[in-house]
Chain A
């Protein structure tokens, strides 16, 4: 046991007072620094998963060929690490191999009009999973080409007009758009924490057989 007398002597000692001043300053500094929010990497990510919610199993029968009314189930996942809630839109476009895809260098979206759109508000640090169930509902054969005239997305019938030679190399493109409160518009690109422009999109190729 330390005697009360010893404690008083200890507290009055120069070494105690000096270390107390240093440690109080240090701990206050640490407490303040710990309370300041740290800058982190800001990004949005988009991924398209197959029917088992994994990378794979994108096609029925594991073939790229999709027949009329074949039911295809994918999942679109969006992760928000922008530091605050984001209002996002996932725009779905149906393209053939010759139509222009989004450009990663210039961060421009595909000029083709989207056929479907999912709008969601995503909390910071949240991953949202959007089921995407689709099938081709109408195909026309013109000469050697196949033209997709209609698709069903999550039960909604959408009119489309996409043509490909022999029905090969169609693709579904998912573009991630972010709502900009200042411009009051959805924008395809945004600026990340290092002030660089970013954009995100995915595509999955398929053939049609009627």
Chain B
């Protein structure tokens, strides 16, 4: 009877550890995908997640509480880092967009407008001068 209870307890702990890991893998994967969607560099997170998946697929890990705890902590850490990476990348992207729109775009436009106006006025005065230098000849009609 005692053996049966122990087996039952082991089974409950074993399956719950797996279920928890599965949920956390999904969460970590989702967090990494979301970070990817905002163009964050997730390569180091993917390397870490791959090594966690490798540990979880190792049969010896499923019987080792220390291994399960480590992978759980690692998955939680990856999830939170991916979320932070997503937030920071979104902020960085927004800042870059603001700098481009409010600083670089007006500077480039002002330089382009200045050059355009300069070219236009110079061309205009050149054509005017050319016109002034033209000799007016009277053509006799036959």
Chain A residues packing against B (C-beta within 8 Å): 2, 10-11, 13, 15-16, 19-20, 23-24, 26-28, 30-32, 34-35, 37, 83-85, 87, 119-124, 126, 179, 181, 184
Contact = CB atoms under 8 A, between A and B. Distances in A.
A31 to B, nearest CB: 4
B20 to A, nearest CB: 14
Contacts of B96: 35
B29 A184 contact: no
Given A10-B114, A27-B109, A31-B105, A121 B29 contact: yes
Contacts of B113: 16, 19-20, 23-24
30 contacts: A10-B118, A11-B114, A15-B116, A16-B114, A19-B113, A20-B113, A23-B112, A23-B113, A24-B109, A24-B113, A26-B109, A27-B109, A27-B112, A30-B105, A35-B97, A35-B100, A84-B33, A85-B33, A85-B42, A87-B53, A119-B53, A120-B50, A121-B49, A121-B50, A122-B46, A123-B46, A124-B42, A126-B43, A126-B46, A184-B22
A89 to B, nearest CB: 11
Contacts of A34: 100
A115 B100 CA distance: 54
B26 A181 contact: yes
B29 A15 contact: no
Contact of B36 (A23, A84, A87): A84
Given A13-B121, A31-B104, A20 B42 contact: no
B60 interface: no
Contacts of A85: 29, 32-33, 36, 42, 46
B30 interface: yes
B109 A181 contact: no
A37 B114 contact: no
Nearest to A87: B29
Chain B interface secondary structure, helix, strand, loop or mixed? helix
Contact of B100 (A13, A16, A31, A122): A31
Q: What 7 A-B pairs come out closest when comparing CB atoms?
A: A84-B36, A23-B109, A27-B105, A20-B113, A31-B100, A16-B117, A24-B109
Contacts of B15: none
A2 B114 CA distance: 12
A15 B121 contact: yes
Contacts of B30: 181
Interface string B82-107: 00000000000100110011001110
A155 B37 CA distance: 38
Contact of B26 (A13, A124, A184): A184
A119 B57 contact: yes
Nearest to B22: A184
A177 B110 CA distance: 54
A97 B108 CA distance: 66
B120 interface: yes
A110 B78 CA distance: 35
A92 to B, nearest CB: 15
